[in-house]
Structure 1
């Protein structure tokens, strides 16, 4: 019986092995797990090699990631023809709940905000604006597992997006950074939660930003953007300092467009990148006044669409551009600025 059983066991093992092989999908087909995806397993091995990580651990960890359709839907571009509306966008952030929460946050962390401003030159109002827009001061830090978010967007970024390949590559890099960081820091990659894009903590830092810009600002030798408001404050300030925030420079100036000599094509070509001197800005029909005329740096014409109404415009400085490094959107930057201003005004006696 034993002699007969051995060949039978060997045949069964061979059959199971064959089944395991055929059950692994060679194609990148969205599914509930990445444990059976050849592209994911190959990526895991590549990450392990580049980061000097245990390939078995990387495979096992990535194998626990799940494709989440809601995440893919969240990054899908809106239907063509949907007009942007600054007033509608603004109303989501510059509103009573966030203003009240911002006042309480500023009052509770006044000394830390002051220290961050003194050390980096970044105004407290900008820091308060960012933390309010991102998470309402830690109240809403996201309910998606970061592992699921990054894997979904790395391997299954919606093909309908005009920059799908570039975005997929970006999230693959973030996934690699996340796995490396969690392994070396002792965080459990299966537990951490964040936004649908994989952003984490009070300031919603992506893994690469956490690695580059997050700092210990409360002096406990630990960088904690989930539990330490001080670390969040210091890290946001450090982020903008790293992107060359200029102390005392306004973020933007009012601008008036002169129809007779307006060269809108030239003014809009650089998008939000400050490109024009005051003289060249005005020569193209974007007129300035007051302190803006003394501005020695570059300017960009920032367009804020208003749905069916005519758009509004401001002249963005290098500090406006610095805010867009946090989120590549002029609407986001203006929401941060105006929320911070509204909180500051609400605190005034």
Structure 2
């Protein structure tokens, strides 16, 4: 999962089936920090107390748990990257979009789709999730496996569990989140008989081609190639099936568009616009109430039987871009709680779909 999601909301919760067995973590060499970490977490009383409690609650070997957490190193880069973004920086949808809908990613996505055409079709048939959405997510997250992260997951999760920056406005809830993810990670690796030290991921602990946090791996990752294990680092079939399973679990409705064009009546009031924007990306308005407040819909949008959200994407001082997001658009934001991310994923997938000639 894209790490931006971790800064804006809690991500995915979870439980691997016994048949998942062992995963195969990335085998590339971890990035060498510019400076050696100040210490490892064997020196932290809070970390060692957490390890003892975790082992008791999860019925794990306390010596093993303490050794794993104790060997984790504090990574100052991770702490720095989790600092709150500077205030006052304008959002820019056009610039954000250009980062992802670009020639390198489009070509890589086309190759990925063509190499996995049958698997994508099977995932779409079984889960009802469009191949274009699956391809879009994997492209935005890791450029089809090219950028899965070089931080040791045990280091990042321990750092954020015990040294999350106190200056962050949500430091307390983020700390609890990462402690839960550390617990999920150690439980997962112990259950599958893999070495926690060999897993590499993002600066927030997200892993594999789809960038699943440990809790998401446990609950949503599946063995789509039926080889007896879940592998989000090396099995493209498992990656495809797991992304599809994730969206289905969050309520994807087959056949429903993610969004529709919207414009505004010339006499629309600022008050009505503010009312439409107040729920943010949460679909809250039926067609009648949506249009009564000055939003103009056309064609298929007028036949939508669910709710709409008026989604605003700012353009750094220029006129904002607006769409009418459906319940399926909201589902896409469950992967990353950002309308900018969701629309980039959707548009990348649709652009690649056109390249491969899918209807």
Q: TM-score, normalised to structure 2's length?
A: 0.87
Alpha carbons of structure 1 residues 259 and 36: separation in structure 2 relative to 1, 3 Å: farther
1:131 maps to what in 2? 138
Distance 2:83 2:72 in 1: 21
- 2:160 alignment counterpart: 153
Please point out which of 340, 345, 349 is paired with 1:331. Answer: 340
- The separation in 1 between residues aligned to 2:268 and 2:291, in whole angstroms, is 9
Aligned to 2:7: none
3-state DSSP of counterpart to 1:260 = coil
User: What does the per-residue CA deviation read over 1:46-100, in whole Å, with 9 as the maximum and x for residues that have no partner?
Assistant: 1112211111111110011111111112222221110111111111111111100
Q: Which has the higher contact order (CA 8 A, sep 6+)?
A: 2
Structure-1 separation of matches of 2:166 and 2:80: 11
Counterpart of 1:342 in structure 2 is 351
How far 1:231 sits from its partner (Å)?
0.3
Determine the structure 2 residue equivalent to 1:282. 291
- CA displacement at 1:311 relative to structure 2: 1.2
For residue 33 of structure 1, what is the aligned residue in structure 2? Answer: 40
Q: Does 1:61 align with 2:68?
A: yes
SS at match of 2:113: helix
Structure 1's consecutive aligned runs of 4 or more residues displaced over 4 angstroms after TM superposition are none
For 1:161 and 1:307, locate their aligned partners in 2 and report how far apart those are by CA, in whole Å. 24
Of residues 305, 317, 330, the one that matches 1:296 is 305
2:312 aligned counterpart, secondary structure: strand
Q: For residue 103 of structure 1, what is the aligned residue in structure 2?
A: 110
Return the alpha-carbon distance in structure 2 between the equivalents of residues 59 and 334 of structure 1: 43
* Residues paired across the two proteins, number: 320
Q: Secondary structure at the match of 1:35?
A: helix
- Asked if structure 2 preserves the Cα contact closer than 8 Å seen for 1:261 and 1:283, the reply is no
Aligned partners of 1:249 and 1:305: how far apart in 2? 25
Larger Rg: 1
**Cα distance in 1, alignment partners of residues 296 and 223 from structure 2:** 44
State how 1:82-121 maps to structure 2 within 5 Å: 82-121=89-128
Kindly indicate whether residue 206 of structure 2 is the aligned counterpart of residue 203 of structure 1: no
Q: Is the 8 A contact 1:120 1:238 kept in 2?
A: yes
Shift of 1:258: 2.7
Partners of 1:106 and 1:86 lie apart in 2 by: 26
RMSD over aligned CA atoms reads: 1.3
Question: What is the CA-CA distance between 1:156 and the residue it aligns to?
Answer: 1.2
- Secondary structure of 2:167's counterpart equals coil
CA distance in 1, matches of 2:166, 2:316: 27
**Alignment correspondent of 2:148:** 141
Unmatched segments (≥5 aa) in structure 1: 1-29
Give the conservation status (yes or no) of the 8 Å contact 1:45–1:59.
Answer: yes
Does 2:330 align with 1:318? no
Structure 1 residue 348: Cα displacement:
2.5
CA displacement 1:87-140 (0-9 Å, x = unmatched): 111111111111000000000000000000001110000000001011111111
Q: Which runs of 5+ in 2 are unaligned?
A: 1-36
C-alpha distance in structure 2 between counterparts of 1:265 and 1:308, whole Å? 18
Give the aligned partner of residue 76 of structure 1. Answer: 83
- Which residue, out of 166, 169, 178, partners 1:162? 169
